[in-house]
Structure 1
């Protein structure tokens, strides 16, 4: 019997998961708000569903699927609030899913932890979000943990995703222009390729999951922000980067104020997956390679 997955949020991460699952012979359904995007999915062999997680009336007649992946990102140009997308979206999807779902995978964020003054944090660290995205993600987690799918749920608290076409300040680095970002504090990162492989591994029906399972997903090698951009500049053959402080009320400043180092020891031990990009150095080299 063919395994199936239903993906909400088939974007930067979700589409890579879809490609891996299709390569493994899995039937892939993906939800999108865009009819044009739906046509692209169909051409790629993905069964498209046009719906909106913030509108319960569009979530009728969802196909049954063994695994459901909720990987919806927040579009700041859209009307719904981040709470409506993350928390409300999960609430609506949980209510709309047909019976038979064997696994529910939720893409959360390490933003649920807030500030740790540069100390190490892991799955045992009490969440204490300070930004709207972390607050909404934690609320969504709680909805899942209180749902009938809790014993089949996997919550993945992802660090910052980077990869092809997602290298911040590429233009400024190449041009030798100042970067509007702090030099201090740690970046916790996971390459999108490794993140997709982790999701695909946990979606495999052969793998036994005793839920609710919560994992911090990072490469486990936090890097000081300034050193990350210096390495990117070196690989690009660009000048040594210079920095200017971002506006105090900006999202960049808020992210920098929440300094922590994220451990991935539980992930490595229990999921037993070898990262292709174990540190930012390998990841950056793969992105800017000629």
Structure 2
């Protein structure tokens, strides 16, 4: 674990959580690109980590996490999760499950019904009714927003997604609210995650291949290490009262709000929404490649569908409560670190 991947927060993260008498014990449901980095940060902070996968158990063990085979579409696995939570006294659960397009289960049956089954298993653990249920963080997406025209959106903006991915996540969020009620939980709506090994179209830009994407419209991004830090910070919330600025704007002084309670919902995005052309031009600049050439994406291309929305994510609440200072505040710093 290199020093720069450790979040800028107090060294003893366990001491800041309401159940600080207990050591932090994290269970990651869906240990993929983000989950691995959350686990690494948690381990670096002294937490114990268990993580689930359907197939990648050996690589999870190599990370120093306890591997747990789990598929929320297989009802036989649900008792396993309840047993792991109980036997390991798990007090934090990250749900970060991506939809497998090669699965025989459709998106809504997996992402909504599968989540509902998992939440039922969490609720079935002894101690839930007495208020000792684990703190649950669900990874959602800013794809739930439908806005166009470069409109700024935040946690209060309406959500009418026009794609199945956004609709499924929005329904899953509703399941979180209905199933977990007043127990501790948080929803993080993440912008597009990028990081080492995951920079959209970088290879095409370097090779001088045309980019099949509209050059205009905004990209909202978050570096994977900052996204992981947001998860750790949400899990490290303190209920000791503190005063934070609320409703601050350039035209009026901020009012203060007692932030003794964590919000239920945060959008997680960096400080600088960027026009697509500028993002790819920055890749070219940093790698010494020629400026990219853009061509129309295919009629049924996912890029075309994603470009039908054009919004800019306002991360004020994230920076107020969870990450006052991002390690990679914009794509420029993030690409410089990666490329």
The SS at the match of 1:120 is strand
Q: 2:36 aligns with which of 5, 15, 27?
A: 15
Pair 264,61 (structure 1): closer, same or farther in 2 beyond 3 Å? same
* Residue ranges of structure 1 left out of the alignment (5+ in a row): none
2:231 is matched with 199
Query: After the TM superposition, which residues 89-168 of structure 1 pair with which residues of structure 2 at under 5 Å, given as runs?
Result: 89-97=114-122, 98=125, 99=128, 100-168=132-200
The SS at the match of 2:204 is helix
Shift of 1:130: 0.7
Q: Is the 8 A contact 2:152 2:311 kept in 1?
A: yes
2:303 is matched with 252
The SS at the match of 1:147 is helix
Q: TM-score, normalised by structure 2?
A: 0.81
2:91 matches 1:40: no
Pair 81,211 (structure 1): closer, same or farther in 2 beyond 3 Å? farther
Query: After the TM superposition, which residues 259-278 of structure 1 pair with which residues of structure 2 at under 5 Å, given as runs?
Result: 259-278=310-329
2:269 matches 1:218: yes
Deviates further, 192-201 or 84-93? 84-93
The SS at the match of 1:5 is strand
Task: Please give the alpha-carbon distance, in whole angstroms, between the structure 2 residues aligned to 1:163 and 1:103.
Answer: 27
Q: 1:76 aligns with which of 94, 101, 105?
A: 101
Shift of 1:89: 2.2
Deviates further, 97-106 or 15-24? 97-106
The SS at the match of 1:30 is strand
Task: Please give the alpha-carbon distance, in whole angstroms, between the structure 1 residues aligned to 2:274 and 2:165.
Answer: 22
The SS at the match of 1:168 is coil
Cα deviation, 1:172-226, whole Å, max 9, x if unaligned, reads: 1111110111101000000001000110111126567746610010003110001
The SS at the match of 2:222 is strand
Task: Please give the alpha-carbon distance, in whole angstroms, between the structure 1 residues aligned to 2:177 and 2:46.
Answer: 30
2:334 matches 1:283: yes
Q: TM-score, normalised by structure 1?
A: 0.94
Shift of 1:239: 0.5
After superposition, the CA RMSD in angstroms is 1.6
Task: Please give the alpha-carbon distance, in whole angstroms, between the structure 2 residues aligned to 1:205 and 1:270.
Answer: 9
Q: Is the 8 A contact 1:105 1:154 kept in 2?
A: yes
1:53 is matched with 72
Pair 84,273 (structure 1): closer, same or farther in 2 beyond 3 Å? farther
2:220 is matched with 188
The SS at the match of 1:59 is helix
Task: Please give the alpha-carbon distance, in whole angstroms, between the structure 1 residues aligned to 2:44 and 2:138.
Answer: 22
Shift of 1:149: 4.4
Q: Is the 8 A contact 1:144 1:150 kept in 2?
A: no
Cα deviation, 1:20-61, whole Å, max 9, x if unaligned, reads: 111111111111101xx2122223221111110122221213
Cα deviation, 1:83-130, whole Å, max 9, x if unaligned, reads: 123212210110111234331100000011123321100111011111
Q: Is the 8 A contact 1:198 1:273 kept in 2?
A: no
Task: Please give the alpha-carbon distance, in whole angstroms, between the structure 2 residues aligned to 1:67 and 1:110.
Answer: 23
Shift of 1:150: 4.7
Q: Is the 8 A contact 1:178 1:242 kept in 2?
A: yes
Q: Is the 8 A contact 1:28 1:47 kept in 2?
A: yes
Pair 27,235 (structure 1): closer, same or farther in 2 beyond 3 Å? same
